Amino acid sequence: MTEIRTVLTGLDLLPPATGDEFDLATERAVRAFQQSRGLSVDGRVGAETWRALDAARWRLGARTLYHAVPEPLTGEDVRSLQERLLEMGYDVGHADAVYGVRTARAVAQFQREVGLKPDGSCGPHTMGALRRLGRKVVGGRPQWLRESDAIRQSGPTLVGRTVVIDPGHGGTDPGVVVPDGPLRWSEADLVHDLASRLEGRLAAAGVRVQLTRGPTPATCLPDTDRAQLANSLGADVFISLHTDGHANPEADGVATYHYGTDNGVTSATGERLAGLVQREIVARTGLRDCRTHAKAWDLLRLTRMPAVRVEVGYLTSPQDRNRLVDPRFRDKVVEAIVAAVQRMFFPIERDVPTGSIDVSELRAVVAAGAVMD
């Protein structure tokens, strides 16, 4: 009885105990608890309610958590752990307070990334690592923190970097297609042209560049393969190029996407790159600013480097299309992306104003070691 009251008090459902009897206040608290846990509400502590109460009193860190078979551990501590892992971008499904295979796998992945033995159980060492990171990491996996550390430490030069450029669609999938008199504009063709121009500009600045496809591939490479290619090349940056389309011809503008989920988890470096690409393109081209957005698409989720997907204008907008079919406009877009990639490697405190990098002089400036400040 005292135990039940203690748990309910700990859950803020009952004021600290005065007597020892199962009184009206306790019954009301049990009902409130049953309701909050989706149990049938009868105000009595049967076996099921007791199990739920028992699970509710565990605080994270009070016991070692592991994947027990066949009866998995459950409790509020498991739920707290799952929420923490979700916040950092690990896949535990939803926080259901049950320490199942998926949770164990996420814990093992976390352990690997922070350099602990990946046994999938959460004991004092893992708890310690979670606590230490807890203050630093908001919405970003340790892997991503290391990613931005690596970028900061490797200096501002573009020479020797690897950039993978991904012209969207291709092969059997032309993307957005718009007939224009006797002509026919396709997203696949336009973004491949953009990719080739970008390849030329980046290569001139000393960057190793790889495209995910040629101008006329036989089939359309799935996004998972494109991400895999970038990973296998150890790319420093991944840029996917698309144009948008909408039934309403009035829809226009540029938008840039980076990895992130609905619960606020985001790739910090991906988000920074997306912001730079978006701002440079808007400033240099005057396309409408449709902002940056977090998406959990395979392409962005599976790539292990800062990755963005840019939708450069709406091919279905007569205004955007007129600009996109002009090679000089496409050069402006490309210059904007080169400037964004360059700024990605500047330490944040030495960043420069949007639109200020003269891309044509990039190589000379970088070679001379003067970092445009």
- For 340, the token pair is 């964004």
CA–CA dist 253, 317 (Å, integer): 9
| Nearer of residues 213 and 242 to Zn ion, judged by Cβ | 242
Instruction: Give the nearest distance from C-beta 187 to Zn ion in angstroms.
Output: 5
Q: State whether residue 343 is helix, strand or coil.
A: helix
> Which CA distances in Å does 325 have to 183, 191, 243, 329?
11, 11, 12, 8
Instruction: Give the nearest distance from C-beta 350 to Zn ion in angstroms.
Output: 34
List CB contacts of 361: < 8 A, sequence separation 6 or more.
none
373, 348 contact by CB (below 8 A): no
| Nearer of residues 75 and 168 to Zn ion, judged by Cβ | 168
Q: State whether residue 76 is helix, strand or coil.
A: helix
Measure CA 176 to chain center. Answer: 26
CA–CA dist 164, 325 (Å, integer): 24
Could you tell me which stretch among 28-36, 169-177, 193-201, 280-288 binds Zn ion (CB under 5 A)? 169-177
Nearest of 312, 170, 342, 163 to residue 235 by alpha carbon: 163
Instruction: Give the nearest distance from C-beta 263 to Zn ion in angstroms.
Output: 26
H or E, element range at 314: strand 307-314
CA–CA dist 153, 142 (Å, integer): 16
Asked if 79 interacts with Zn ion (CB under 5 A), we say no
Could you tell me which stretch among 20-28, 53-61, 71-79, 241-249 binds Zn ion (CB under 5 A)? 241-249
The correct pick among 89, 156, 167, 175 for binding Zn ion (CB under 5 A) is 175
Could you tell me which stretch among 54-62, 64-72, 73-81, 242-250 binds Zn ion (CB under 5 A)? 242-250
Instruction: Give the nearest distance from C-beta 320 to Zn ion in angstroms.
Output: 14
Instruction: Give the nearest distance from C-beta 140 to Zn ion in angstroms.
Output: 27
Cross-strand pairs, 163: 209, 237
The correct pick among 79, 197, 242, 332 for binding Zn ion (CB under 5 A) is 242
Instruction: Give the nearest distance from C-beta 233 to Zn ion in angstroms.
Output: 22
Shortest-Cβ-distance residue relative to Zn ion:
242
Total interface residues for Zn ion by CB under 5 A:
3
Asked if 168 interacts with Zn ion (CB under 5 A), we say yes
| Nearer of residues 156 and 168 to Zn ion, judged by Cβ | 168
Residues near Zn ion (CB under 5 A) are: 168, 175, 242
